Amino acid sequence: MMDIHQILKKLPHRYPFLLVDRVLEVEKGIRIKALKNVTINEQFFNGHFPHRPVMPGVLMVEALAQTAALLAFETLDITLDDSTVFYFAGIDGVRFKRPVEPGDQLTLEVTLDRMKAGIYKFKGKGFVGEELALEAELMCTMRKIA
């Protein structure tokens, strides 16, 4: 379990781009379960769409990626410093099954498939209640920056 204060220590993202509010469960090297509380106050709802606000799919995928990063950092027992970033290396098999709207709680479930040569492969799913909202396969890598 991780609250927002612990998440802020692990992830470099900040408002309006931090998309994980709480970690409910984590099994190092295996899986993680986190929450994103979706409110009408989200900046993106002003333009997506004013008449029918829906969370953009790319941001749902980003929420999965941030959750995956938390799993990687917990698994490796590290905290990123200012000279290290965790990047997307690939996204496959993305499917959106249900819109995510203000008032929804997006439950993010990510499993670690493989860590090899600095490349991390994850499978992620997002749920609203019991309904599948999205699924994706993610590849990420850590890199030092100048």
Over the stretch 25-48, which tens digit does the pLDDT of each residue have?
A: 999 999 999 999 999 999 999 999
> Which is catalytic among the residues 5, 13, 48, 51?
48
Average pLDDT, the chain: 95
Phi/psi for 5 (5° steps) reads -65, -40
Distances, alpha carbon 123 to alpha carbons 39, 41, 77, 115, 145, in Å: 26, 29, 20, 13, 27
51 assigned to active site: no
Structural domain including 90 reads 4-144
Domain count of the fold of the chain: 1
Query: For position 12, what pLDDT does the model report?
Result: 92
- Amino acid (one-letter) located at 86: F
Find the CATH number of the domain harbouring 71: 3.10.129.10
- The mean pLDDT value for 125-138 works out to 98
